[in-house]
Amino acid sequence: MYDNNPTLTGIKKEIDETKQGQVFYQEKPLENGAENSNGKHFYIESYGCQMNFSDSEIVASILSEVGFQPTRALEEADLILVNTCSIREKAEETVRKRLRIFDKIKRQRPGTMVGVLGCMAERLKSKFLEEEKLVDIVIGPDAYRDLPNLVAGAEEGERGVNVLLSREETYADISPMRLDSNGVSAFISIMRGCNNMCSFCVVPFTRGRERSRDCFSIVSEAQDLYDRGYREVTLLGQNVDSYHWQNPENEQVVNFATLLEMVAQVHPDLRVRFSTSHPKDITDEVLHTMARYENICKYIHLPVQSGNSVVLERMNRTYDREWYMERVQAIYRIIPECAISSDIIAGFCGEQEHEHQETVSMVEWANYSMSYMFFYSERPGTLAARKYPDDVPMDVKKRRLQEIVNMQNQVSLRHNKADVGKTFKVLIEGDSKKSDKEFKGRNSQNKMIVFPKLDNLKPGDYAWVKVTGATSATLIGEISFP
């Protein structure tokens, strides 16, 4: 235990200072019973996108079948796992820092195993296993079923690796273990991989080609979650709008609009969200389906990346500024109450000042409720790294990013202030971060609302909340009775 070991106490301090990912654990007993436990525990941290968090729940389920139980206490862990992200250089640097800390733990506690999962696995497997010798296991996103075998080998002193990509693996038959869950919201992975070869992105190389889960397993998972008390599901994919599954029995094709409707029909009280949408694929059929069902949330994450057509062409986004603007207009025309958010990259290869200003103007024109904003980080192996010089100076990147952030903050505040006086149906998620006398919950537009508690309400309940105030990030409200 840390308290009895000064060296480990120092390591714990380093861990707390450097941790930026999400730690998964489960306070309730394993659903398959204590008889399946081998007395060993695993600890897992996840970084990056929601797909990584969803994958961690699949990994947890696989490990539980061979007797491992989750823990959030490192001093209990026999197996330490890091589910990694390669989207930006900063994410990789964070993981490297974590691995060096975990390596210290291994030296202090012989027998502890460390594994790297996910998107960094394939690209950096040799460094992790051979050069730096920081880990015992390296396993890619399509090889999680092999984890028990690699763990068994690591227990015998072997270093194991499996980073093979698959054209079929969807983990459709694995019921994810809902770790660190609020019991209200859950992810459902509907597809894996990506066919969009955006020049800045490593995902097609780390997660492989697109393949979709069968729709019946997705609906079944949504029904099971609702039956267990969950009231919101988020359908996940690198590009959900390209979901495409063909029934082998009758050759009927199910697209994303159809799947969305099938999940919405599980129950009117089950909210449905989805992420992420690609502008080239979000169809009017999807938008009309959203408009038709009250329980499909009126929120779309629609990454623009750049507001300039020339930059978008270098990014290989397959649309231009005008196409994107037409899709935004279609959203607001078909779903007037919809909120749109975005991803934006500042300082991409060759970006000129006037091209950057078109991105700033897009933030205001599209009226994004919020955005994820970053400066460009070259990723080895991508088309951009091979073809375009990373020629925008770092100080210019940072300045342009700050201008985008400033504009988004203004737009977000204006967006939220427009909601003052309106009443929304809010799904209660739990206590607010600042006070246990207040609840927090989201409306259909994915905006967080904080409001005073009432004794007859609990997490998982819906409440009508009138907005009385707003910041750029949060709405403030009070219970309103219809």
Cα 437 from Cα 264, distance rounded (Å): 33
pLDDT band at 389 (very low <50, low <70, confident <90, very high): very high
* Parent domain of 71: 2-162
Q: Does a structural domain hold residue 368?
A: yes
Same domain, 258 and 406: no
pLDDT in the model for residue 9: 44
Instruction: With respect to residue 104, please indicate whether it lies within any of the assigned structural domains.
Output: yes
Q: Are residues 14 and 125 in the same domain?
A: yes
* CB contact set of 372 (below 8 Å; sequence gap of 6+): 341, 342, 343, 344
pLDDT at residue number 36: 59
DSSP characters over 150-171: HHHHHHTT--EEE----SS---
pLDDT band at 23 (very low <50, low <70, confident <90, very high): low
| One domain, residues 359 and 467 | no
- Given a contact cutoff of 8 angstroms between Cβ atoms, the answer to whether 206 and 193 are in contact is no
When pLDDT is averaged across residues 456-477 and rounded to a whole number, the result is: 96
CATH of the domain at 203: 3.30.750.210
For the entire predicted model, the pTM comes to: 0.88
Same domain, 261 and 302: no
Residues 408 and 439 in one domain: no
pLDDT of residue 181: 73
The answer on 344 and 258 residing in a single domain is: no
In this structure, are 154 and 65 located in the same domain? Answer: yes
pLDDT at 132: 61
Going by pLDDT thresholds of 50, 70 and 90, the confidence category of residue 32 is very low
User: Among 245, 271, 296, where does a domain finish?
Assistant: 296
Does the pLDDT value for residue 254 go beyond 90? yes
Rounded average pLDDT over 248-275: 96
Q: Tell me: the pLDDT tens digits for 85-138? A: 877 777 778 888 888 889 888 888 888 999 999 888 877 777 776 656 788 999
- Of residues 139, 143, 135, the one with CA closest to residue 114: 135
Same domain assignment for residues 35 and 80: yes
pLDDT at res. 356: 98
Find the angle CA(177)-CA(188)-CA(318) to the nearest 5 degrees. 140
Q: Is residue 372 part of a domain?
A: yes
Domain membership flag for residue 290: yes
* Separation of alpha carbons 481 and 80, rounded Å: 48
Q: Measured between alpha carbons, how far is 84 from 20 in angstroms, rounded to an integer?
A: 12
Write down which residue in 375, 390, 418 finishes a domain.
418
Whether residue 407 lies inside any domain: the answer is yes
* CATH code assigned at 340: 3.30.750.200
The yes-or-no verdict on residue 376 having pLDDT over 60 is yes
Whether 224 is in a domain gets the answer: yes
Residue whose C-alpha is closest to residue 36's, from 11, 64, 8: 64
Q: pLDDT averaged over the chain?
A: 90
Domain boundary among 229, 262, 296: 296
Q: Specify the pLDDT at position 340.
A: 98
Answer yes or no: are the C-beta atoms of 135 and 116 closer than 8 Å.
yes
| Cis omega (within 30 of 0) for bond into 276 | yes
Angle at 142 between CA 140 and CA 146, to 5 degrees: 80
Same domain, 45 and 136: yes
How many domains, in total, are found in the chain? Answer: 4
- Domain co-membership, 400 together with 383: yes
Q: Is the CB of residue 331 less than 8 Å from the CB of residue 338?
A: yes
Mean pLDDT of 187-196: 94
Q: Is residue 178 assigned to a domain?
A: no
- How would residue 205 be classed by pLDDT, with cut points 50, 70 and 90? confident
**What percentage of the chain reaches a pLDDT higher than 90?**
71
Residue 358 and residue 230 share a domain: no
pLDDT of residue 26: 42
Residue type, 276: T
Closest CA to 300 of 348, 347, 332, 266: 332
Domain membership flag for residue 449 = yes
4 band by pLDDT with thresholds 50, 70 and 90: very low
What is the domain-level CATH number for residue 449?
2.40.50.140
CA 76 to CA 42: how far, in whole Å?
8
Same domain, 364 and 330: yes
Token pair recorded at residue 239: 């590009």
